[in-house]
Amino acid sequence: MPQATLPPAASAPRTDPTPTVSTATDLPPGVAACRSRLRASAIGAGVTPQVFDRHVATVAPDASVLGFLDAQPEFTTPVWDYLAGLVDEERVSDGREQMRVHADLLARVAQRYGVDPAMVVAVWGVESNFGRAFGKRPLLVSLATLACQGRRQAFFRGELIDTLHIIQSGDVAPDGLVGSWAGAFGHTQFMPSTFRRIAVDFDGDGRRDLVGNVADALASTAHFLQRAGWRSGAPWGHEVLVPADAYLGPTGRRHREPLRYWMAKGVTRADGRGFEPDRDTPASLLLPAGRGGPAFLVYRNFHAIYSYNASESYALAIALLSDRLRGGAGLKTPWPTEDAGLSRLQRRELQALLLARGHAIGEADGIIGAATRRAIVTEQQRLGLTPQDGRAGLLILQALRSAQGSGPGDER
């Protein structure tokens, strides 16, 4: 199927209308007491009483955000599903187009911060789909809720106070502070505390604007990676092959050995090329799906990516997408599953087939939500598939294609 045409680059993305921020004059006693303490803390940290009272004092809590605390997709989704939706042909094509459109800007960013264009654009693509998906939750509502309810209240109190500082400084208008449930916002989804420490005014207009200014957003991302220890010109890592039973010791990002150690164990690059880093370079062996799936040796730059969002699956998505944006091929070793994950194109096709079979799941937008999962369970039962778990994988897509008679070609 032809790829969707990328819209022209603009200083600010097209977004859905900002949700209305509801207010409550009668807050629950516990929340009211918490807000009172928050006010004192914010004022003590330099927020004016007027800014706090206008933007936080009577904002109604949104209990729906509490359910996200333990449901982040990079921690709960099988790695092959997670990567299939983030490193697909659609995102690769769009990312290469953005690299072309912003070539001059990205070259200047690379010159200043030492982070190559493909890596910066990969972060942009994963974080907001190149500015198309900022998130829809008002930060002040989410953070005011999380600061007084659920776990990690101290963390979210700090993020709320930093958000008020951003408003007070005039860098971003309050109605632009819409993003994820946890408070990340803008083209590359900075948390408010990260914004205050790292964001830069790259175009020199006097504001650090990660919402309406692509230059500021991409430069701030490169600045973050530089501060996290990025080494210019060095690889993040490589897909590797590990001989069976050659190494049965500890793996994971925290276990590091010199590259020569891994080479002595028979570890080689999956593409047959030689290793680039110095043989004394610390390297970690990642087996994200166990010993039957793809393996990776990762170096310092991978850890810099990891610091952006503390998830190995997330860091792999960024790293693998950056490789594809540079013209690299996909993984050599398949994931150890008979039910491969779906690209966004395939997810939309799956939803279109479900709609054609009478399921009320909304539009075919490629977002697999509760309604889509319920419809998949119904079809798994109807078609006699097991397990009947509501997972959006290749097996249910192929089964629905067969039941339909024919379907569009799949990405392979």
pLDDT-derived band of residue 76, with 50, 70 and 90 as boundaries?
low
Q: Average pLDDT for residues 201-222, to the nearest whole number? A: 98
Cα-based torsion angle of the residue sequence 71, 77, 79, 85 in order, rounded to the nearest 10 degrees:
-100
Q: What is the DSSP letter of 171?
A: S
Cα 68 from Cα 82, distance rounded (Å): 17
The answer to whether residues 155 and 144 touch, using CB atoms and an 8 Å cutoff, is no
Name residue, tokens 């500082």: 165
pTM, two decimal places: 0.87
**Span 14-33, pLDDT tens digits:** 333 343 444 445 677 788 89
Cis peptide bond upstream of 387, omega within 30 = yes
pLDDT-derived band of residue 246, with 50, 70 and 90 as boundaries?
confident
**Span 254-300, pLDDT tens digits:** 999 999 999 999 999 999 999 988 999 999 999 999 999 999 999 99
Q: What are phi and psi of 138, to 5 degrees?
A: -60, 125
**Span 133-189, pLDDT tens digits:** 999 999 999 999 999 998 899 999 999 999 999 999 999 999 999 999 999 999 999
Percent of the chain, pLDDT > 70?
A: 90
Q: Average pLDDT for residues 385-406, to the nearest whole number? A: 91
Q: Which of 128, 129, 87 is nearest to 313 (CA)?
A: 87
Total residue count of the chain as it appears in this document: 412
> How buried is residue 229: exposed, middle or buried, by Cβ count under 10 Å (0-12/13-18/19+)?
exposed
What is the CATH T-level fold of the domain 16-60+136-183, as seen in this structure? Helicase, Ruva Protein; domain 3 (1.10.8)
Q: Which of 2, 218, 199, 190 is nearest to 104 (CA)?
A: 218
Q: Which of 138, 178, 153 is nearest to 56 (CA)?
A: 138
Q: Average pLDDT for residues 119-135, to the nearest whole number? A: 97
Would you name the residues annotated as active-site residues? Answer: 127
Tell me the pLDDT of the chain averaged across its residues.
Answer: 91
The answer to whether residues 181 and 191 touch, using CB atoms and an 8 Å cutoff, is no
> How buried is residue 178: exposed, middle or buried, by Cβ count under 10 Å (0-12/13-18/19+)?
buried
Residue 139, token pair as written in the block? 């930060």
Q: Which of 135, 68, 122 is nearest to 304 (CA)?
A: 122
pLDDT at residue 11, as a whole number = 35
* Residue 13 amino acid letter: P
Higher-pLDDT residue of 401 and 58 is 401
Q: What are phi and psi of 310, to 5 degrees?
A: -70, 70
Cα 355 from Cα 186, distance rounded (Å): 33
The answer to whether residues 221 and 105 touch, using CB atoms and an 8 Å cutoff, is no
Among 4-13, 24-33, 117-126, where is mean pLDDT lowest? 4-13
Domain edges within the chain: 16-60+136-183, 237-325, 344-404
pLDDT-derived band of residue 87, with 50, 70 and 90 as boundaries?
very high
Cβ neighbors of 85 (< 8 A, separation 6 or more) are 341, 342, 343, 344, 347, 366
pLDDT at residue 277, as a whole number = 82
3-state percent helix, strand, coil for the chain, nearest multiple of 5: 45, 5, 45
Among 62-66, 256-260, 319-323, where is mean pLDDT lowest? 62-66
